[in-house]
Each structure stands twice: as structure tokens, then as C-alpha cells.
Amino acid sequence: MKIAIAGAGAMGSRFGVMLSRAGNQVILIDQWAAHVQAINEKGLTVDTETGSSQVKLPAYLPADVQEKPELVILFTKSMGLANMLAAIEPILGETTKIVCLLNGLGHVPTLEKYVRKENIFMGVTLWTAGLVGPGHVKLVGNGRVEVQNIDPAGETAAKEICDLFSQAGLNAVYSENVIFSIWRKACVNGTLNTLCTLLDCNIGEFGQLPQAASLLRQIIAEFALVAKATDQVTLTIEPVAQQIEALYDPKQAGLHYPSMYQDLILHHRLTEIDYLNGYVAKKAAELNLATPICQLLTELIHAKEALLVK
């Protein structure tokens, strides 16, 4: 199948490499010029547990793509989604399917501006990947991905996408409720990413704090309030909190600094806060619900952005 990876950072590169090795025609699309150039000149350098290799894949800046893919896998940062879609609109045909695997909340309305609902598929992945530098990724560990259509008419196609992914070793399952899974993952990011960034600590250090249990549950409660009101999704606080607490173990994510920490504190880049706690606070305001914790955390992260991002 002809597949475009739109947003070919670490995770997009992982999906591109694995789908390409399974026999698909994959192109990478990314807005980072040095990355695109490096991939085209030397191939994508892929480090794994067993060694390093070069993978030849065509790479393009968003405005330069001509080829029309059958499937587009979106893996941009949340704040890059709308720009990416606008740039690649010319290659999106009537039957082009879109799988959106971004973190964060609130992406469906953005997708619907560019793609018919029956061609939109939402997913959540537990794969990980690291970007070493331009044209260079590190792919270790194992993962899985779940995908679901957002329009009832898309169920067969969603299952075919799962088959395509699984044939490439991506361990895909058809989700009966991907919107729930997206909210549940947003709870992970809306707690650990946000709080580790504000408190300047890693996930394990956060987990040791006497305040951790209460902070987690207060935030999840606000996510649950808005998940129910906007998407009729029921998030039960305690199991979601305990799933997050399992990550404190150093053998899980305990030694890890979340992506928001890396973006803002290490690299002085803008964060995805508006698609996590900020989305919850904004939707709550529209619905006249109170989410003061998410509101304040969003303002504090934006304040830190104003201090740190040039």
C-alpha cells in the first residue's frame, strides 16, 4: 500500500520503517528541513537493540509532496496538525484514509476540516521511539497500537488498517472505544507531563512525592468531568490513577522525563498543554463546568513557555 507518514519524528519514523519493511511503499513528510535532507542524502539511520542500519525512504517537506498515498498516518505534534493538513491537502483524495495517532485531545474537528468522516481513523499507541538527531532515530522496546473508525461506515476499513499494521509487527488491535483510550492516555500526559515539567523532576521522583496521589486524582477528576460532558466517555478515577502510578517503577517509566519536560525545560520549545489540561479547561469553560486545577496548570505552563521559549 502507498503510505505517507505525515510528521516523521521518532514515532512517525518507527511506523514508516516497520511498514516499509513489511513491503509497503512509504514516504516520510516532515517540516524539519535538516531531517528531510539527511534522510534523502544518507537514508534514515535506525538504531535498535541489535545494531544500526540505514533505511532508504523518500522524505519531503509538507509543501513538496506530489505522490498521492492511499493512507496517511498523522504523527505531528498536536500544535502542528492543522498546518500539516493544510500543507498536504493537495495529496488528500476522496478515498485517502487518515489515521491520527497524535497524543492529546480535540483533534477530530481539525481532521474533519480536511477529510470526510468515514475516512478518519483514530488511534492510540504505546510504542515508543527516540530522535537522536536529523535523519537518525532509536527504536527499542515493544509496543502496540489500537485503531478505530469514528464513523460507523468505517469499521471494515479500520480492521483492514489494523491488519496492515499487525503484518508490519506493530501489534494492532481494533478498538471498541478508541475515544476512551485517547482520554485515558491524555490523563497520563495531563498529569505526569504537566506536573514533572512544573516541578522539574522525572516520573519516578514525582511518584515519590507525598502530594502525588492527590494531585493525580484531582486532575483525573477534571478530565473525567469533561470526557463525560463532551464525548460521553466514562473515566473512573481510581483505575486510571493506578495505571499511571504503575509507571513510577524505574523498570517502567520511572527514570523518564516526559516529552513535555524535554520540549520545554530541555529544548525551550512550546508544549502540547493546550491539547491536554488546556483542552479540558477550555471545553469546561464552554460548558460552564469548573476545572480550576487544569486551568491553573495550563496558565502556569504557558507562563513557563513565555519565560523559556525564544
> In the 3-class helix/strand/coil scheme, how is 191-226 assigned residue by residue?
HHHHHHHHHCCCHHHHHCCCCHHHHHHHHHHHHHHH
Burial group, residue 272, by CB count within 10 angstroms (0-12, 13-18, 19+): buried
> Is the separation of the CB atoms in 57 and 148 below 8 Å?
no
The DSSP bridge pattern shows strands 136-138 and 130-133 to be antiparallel
User: Smaller CB distance to a copy of itself: residue 40 or 218?
Assistant: 218
Grid coordinates given for 301: 505552563
61 touches a copy of itself by CB under 8 A:
no
303 touches a copy of itself by CB under 8 A:
yes
300 touches a copy of itself by CB under 8 A:
yes
Q: Examine the residue annotation and report whether 185 is marked as an active-site residue of this protein.
A: yes
From the candidates 185, 251, 304, 310, give the one annotated as an active-site residue: 185
Q: For residue 217, what are the CA distances in angstroms to 111, 149, 226, 239, 255?
A: 31, 30, 14, 10, 22
299 touches a copy of itself by CB under 8 A:
yes
User: Smaller CB distance to a copy of itself: residue 180 or 257?
Assistant: 257
210 touches a copy of itself by CB under 8 A:
yes
Count of H helices and E strands in the chain? 13, 12
245 touches a copy of itself by CB under 8 A:
no
> Is the separation of the CB atoms in 62 and 44 below 8 Å?
no
Rounded distance between C-alpha atoms, residue 146 and residue 208, angstroms? 31
Grid coordinates given for 298: 495550563
User: Smaller CB distance to a copy of itself: residue 245 or 299?
Assistant: 299
SS3 of residue 71 by DSSP: strand
Among all chains, which residue has been given the C-alpha cell 517503577?
249
256 touches a copy of itself by CB under 8 A:
no
Query: Minimum Å distance from CB 196 to a copy of itself?
Result: 11
The mark string for 160-199 relative to a copy of itself (x by CB under 8 A, - otherwise) is -----------------------------------x--xx
Query: Minimum Å distance from CB 304 to a copy of itself?
Result: 6
302 touches a copy of itself by CB under 8 A:
yes
293 touches a copy of itself by CB under 8 A:
yes
Residues forming contacts to a copy of itself in the complex (CB under 8 A) are: 195, 198-201, 205, 208-212, 214-215, 218, 290, 292-293, 296-297, 299-300, 302-304, 306-307
Active-site amino acid positions:
185
